[in-house]
Amino acid sequence: MTRDELSRIASGVGFDAVGVATVKRAPHADAFHEWLAAGMNASMDWIEKLTETRCDPGLSLPGARSLIALAMNYFQPDPDGISDEMGMIARYARGRDYHLLIRKRLRLIDRELSAAGGTQRCFVDSGPLLERDFAVLAGIAWHGKSTMALHPRLGTWFFLSAVVTTLEFPPDPPLPDRCGSCTRCIAACPTTAIVEPCRLDARRCISYWTIEHRGDLPEWIRPLVGSRVFGCDDCLDACPWNRFAQASREAGFLARPASHLPLRDYLRLDEHAFDKLFEGSPIRRAKRQGFLRNVCTALGNVGAAGDVPALEGAANDPDEVVARHARWALSQLENTWKSQRCFP
């Protein structure tokens, strides 16, 4: 199989950029180990497993020679009428779960490579691989100061995946770093989680707290969450390269109605209703407890009198984490109204 044939196959199954890197140890492997040693992965201890395999794809597939890095655009404009009362869900999570969608496309590429005599292992944010490092090596991105990968046409709105193969393809040249002196992403972070260029402390990141963290949110982060209920796009929204973003050609990434309901409506969901509403959605990662915890927190920040009955119901939720955050939200609203001398 030629390099041109590889590009045609990747484009034909829906990828928007493809590049090739020679299999070797990741350039930022040492920095990755330092980041872990500093505890900046917070409670995400799964990142601490198979650390050397993450840094060297050759350890995951004996005889691997090339890594094919792939990008798929997921950008969709905000739905009409979106507002704080609906909460803010990170753009990547408003449609179909990308793991499910991209995995099918990778299987098609794997089949073609296998027919050409290769053996492959595929990754879509679910295996031990430093995807961003290898996307940079493969010439489809450069490292943004937010730690996000950047593409000159796609901005930051793309999913990365990779295919490690025993076939050999010529490596692509890297892209130049085009961030220059811009630090808008760092300035935009509401919690100063980007502690220096290309270094993010998950212990301060709203995306970590609203998606990965289990249990109660600490008191200090709750007001900073604002109306965000799943993830945070502030550093992405601030990036000037995103002015070039075009809507994805993948219909699966269109925002589902479930991603922009009034916040109080989510508090009606029991476990079964939550699973049904968010079937095939990344939001299920937070589970009902985490998502409704976030909803209560957001209502404590941006709620109105009309949200009180729903919060009062949630204050008696059988899940104590949800109930505690509902009671916190009610106290926040009461304090706000007292300070404004405005009572519902």
Enumerate the active-site residues.
Answer: 125
Q: Where does the chain have alpha helices with state H? A: 3-12, 29-37, 51-55, 98-115, 131-137, 184-188, 206-207, 222-225, 234-237, 263-266, 271-277, 287-302, 308-314, 320-340
Task: Give how far Cα 169 sits from Cα of 5, 19, 138, Å.
Answer: 11, 10, 11
Question: Phi/psi of residue 55, each to 5°?
Answer: -85, -20
Per-residue burial over 191-222, b = 16 or more CB atoms within 10 Å of its CB, e = otherwise: bebbeeeeebbbbbbbbbbbbbbeeebeeebb
Alpha carbon distance 39, 244 (integer Å): 35
Question: Which residue bears the tokens 């198979």?
Answer: 50
Query: Residue 210 half-sphere exposure, CB side, CA atoms within 13 Å?
Result: 30
Alpha carbon distance 145, 167 (integer Å): 33
Structure letter (DSSP) for residue 7: H
- Quote the distance between the C-alpha of residue 145 and its chain's center: 16
Alpha carbon distance 88, 265 (integer Å): 14
Contact 112, 120 (CB under 8 A): no
Question: Which residue bears the tokens 């031990």?
Answer: 128
Instruction: Kindly state the tokens that stand for 2.
Output: 């030629």
